[in-house]
Structure 1
Amino acid sequence: MPPIDKTLESSRTLLSSLSSFASDRSQDMAQQAYEFLSQTSTRPQMPRRRRSSASTAGDATGLQQLSTLSLSSSPLSSSSDSSAPPSLIFSSTSPSPSSSLSSSPSLGPTKRFSHSAAVPDPLSLGAPLQPNSVELAKYASDIIRNEAYALLALAARLAPAAYPLLDDDGAHVVRATDSSSSAGTDSSDDGCEDSDDAAYAKSPVGVESHVEESRTNQAFRNVVTLIQSMPRHGKILISGIGKSGIVARKMVATFCSLGIQAAFLHPVEALHGDLGLICSCSPASPCDTVFLISHSGATAELMRLLPIVRPRVRSLIAVTRDPDSVLASSCHGWLDAGTGVNRSGLPKATTDEADSALPAPTSSVVSALAIGDALALTLSRLRTGWDADSKRRREDFYHCHPGGQLGIQLGREGRGVDMPSSATSPTAGNKLQPAVRLAAAV
């Protein structure tokens, strides 16, 4: 046989052997794959991630099987974990040792709480004792009486002789010589309390010739003078934040209803464009007056606004409890909005509000509202005429308040229809009121 034929024969034999080997190997691999797929089909299926509120019994059984399988097949679980309940595997509080992502609050499984679990309520304060009807009514009454006392003390500081506030012994709780807005108790540093009481507190009501004007009254008259010095087109801007901001808005509404131009100036928004409310017709001679309401006299928002507003307005008025506060000392005028309680004489951790244990703005809000109403009505009476009759003042008020039942009533009065007898009766504003006993007020 030629050499080339021998080479071809050898090649055919080699190819036949390789083909037989490859066929046998492919059959073995196919058999192994079939056995692997057969074993995989018998394993429990993974439960769906989305769970409904009404789980079936089959899903619960599958979840238990999966939990048992995970505990038995995990090479990182210790022997102590084999007795753990299945719920711990899906708990977001148990970190996975194999991956840091599974313990992430955003990527890990969500921990579900049942209503039967003892989960503390973040707003729960325990189980406080419930007061009876008498205790509940008494507490509410004490709050109202404390706020009423704040107003009585404010009236006594404005006009001590006309509206004195007496204690059980008949002595004045608020004297004309008191220089502070906090006047809850009589205090004397020089030991001449008896002489003061003999000369002033024991004097009959109505004797005003020898009584010195109180600091609150002097400050009030100064504010009235500052506002009257404004030009006719000038307006009043009132600023405050928090509860003081609500008081400011109410004061604005009262001023406007009485024909006095007023607007609310938010202390934060003012620094972001609302300063345009301030009249700029004559930078050398400003026209407007700004009221800054702060019970503490140190509100940060008002303190930031103060140096910016100061050169743009005619007058700055502080409405605080303390005339010596930082805010009041930086303004041209001060209005007493104290509560009548001497803070220096209070025990520690108490406030000058209606509830001495809670610093919620209550009595301070009432005092600020009262002094604002007193100023608005005083300015309205001065503008209309101090001796003007009530009919003229009501007609002037009707021009600003023609709507509602109040407007209908005032309109009828202007036409002489259904005139109430109270509208034509003379006012009793100049009559001195009887002294109010402290025991009857508080």
Structure 2
Amino acid sequence: MTTAEDIQSILQREANAILNIPISDAFEKAISLIVEQVHRKKGKLVTSGMGKAGQIAMNIATTFCSTGIPSVFLHPSEAQHGDLGVLQENDLMLVISNSGKTREILELLVLASRLQPDLRFIVITGNPDSQLAQSADVCLFTGAPAEVCPLGLTPTTSTTLMTVIGDILVVGTMKATGFDSSQYALRHHGGYLGQLSREQSCDDKK
């Protein structure tokens, strides 16, 4: 049975992992790449990952879309069956692999570079010494803390950090491009957030 003490321990370990994400100029470089390739050169951000990392990559793509950076998720396996054709000139890839050894991701980048030789990519990983990290234009290191899973196997802490790093990139890019509530409202018409963004946009114009 999970006790309050167990829950507090999990929260503390995950919070510590977030606070210990290595902060370096790699974040600034990644944000600059996104601004240059997508905002200025009108490419798009293509995210990818396998398994749980893929779900995080998909979430990052949808968040970027709502904040002014056209982005799509490319499944690494489906890419080998035609979906690779989504890549165009000036696109930028953001790939996630905790181990840095995910076969499908390594294969994806070989195929993507063959199609678009000038393609640049950012990697989020827990293994900065991996082949994936070493070949990236920018490597964002999670810090590689132990998973809170009692087996030490299930992606838990690692996926939390991937999500947080994605948030850092989104927020940093919003600031760099001057993205405001009026622009948000144009992209988010429905629901509470759509209504709130329109209200904020009106307030900003007063």
Q: TM-score, normalised by structure 1?
A: 0.43
Partner Cα separation in structure 2 for residue 229 and residue 406 of structure 1: 28
Q: Which residue of 1 aligns with 2:96?
A: 293
Kindly report which structure 2 residues correspond to 1:188-203, keeping only aligned pairs within 5 A, or say none.
Answer: none
Larger radius of gyration: 1
Other structure's SS at 1:355 match: coil
Other structure's SS at 1:150 match: helix
Partner Cα separation in structure 2 for residue 333 and residue 415 of structure 1: 38
Q: Which residue of 2 aligns with 1:151?
A: 18
Q: Percent identity?
A: 34
Q: Which residue of 1 aligns with 2:183?
A: 396
Partner Cα separation in structure 1 for residue 197 and residue 84 of structure 2: 37
Which one scores higher on RCO, CA 8 angstroms, separation ≥ 6? 2
Q: Which residue of 2 aligns with 1:306?
A: 109
Partner Cα separation in structure 2 for residue 239 and residue 410 of structure 1: 29
**Equivalent residue letter for 1:220:** F
Q: 1:221 aligns with which of 18, 24, 28?
A: 28
Q: 2:165 aligns with which of 371, 383, 391?
A: 371
Q: CA RMSD in A?
A: 1.8
Other structure's SS at 1:415 match: helix
CA contact (8 A) 2:112 2:119 kept: no
Other structure's SS at 1:296 match: coil
**Equivalent residue letter for 2:66:** S
CA contact (8 A) 1:336 1:371 kept: no
Q: Does 1:362 align with 2:165?
A: no
> What are the ranges of 5 or more consecutive residues in structure 1 without an aligned counterpart?
1-130, 159-216, 280-285, 342-351, 386-392, 420-442
Partner Cα separation in structure 1 for residue 150 and residue 135 of structure 2: 30
CA apart distance, 1:225 = 2.7
Kindly report which structure 2 residues correspond to 1:38-437, keeping only aligned pairs within 5 A, or say none.
Answer: 131=1, 136-154=3-21, 157-158=22-23, 217-230=24-37, 231-279=40-88, 286-311=89-114, 312=116, 313-339=118-144, 341=145, 352-355=146-149, 357-384=151-178, 393-416=180-203
Partner Cα separation in structure 2 for residue 371 and residue 328 of structure 1: 15
Partner Cα separation in structure 1 for residue 142 and residue 178 of structure 2: 26
**Equivalent residue letter for 1:334:** C
Partner Cα separation in structure 1 for residue 201 and residue 97 of structure 2: 40
Partner Cα separation in structure 2 for residue 380 and residue 363 of structure 1: 26
Instruction: Say how many residue pairs are matched.
Output: 200
Partner Cα separation in structure 2 for residue 413 and residue 228 of structure 1: 25
The one-character-per-residue Cα deviations of 1:50-84 (angstroms, maximum 9, x if unpaired) are xxxxxxxxxxxxxxxxxxxxxxxxxxxxxxxxxxx
CA contact (8 A) 1:295 1:338 kept: no
Partner Cα separation in structure 1 for residue 32 and residue 42 of structure 2: 16
CA apart distance, 1:292 = 1.3
Instruction: Looking at secondary structure, tell me which structure has more helix per residue.
Output: 2
Q: TM-score, normalised by structure 2?
A: 0.89
CA contact (8 A) 1:238 1:262 kept: yes
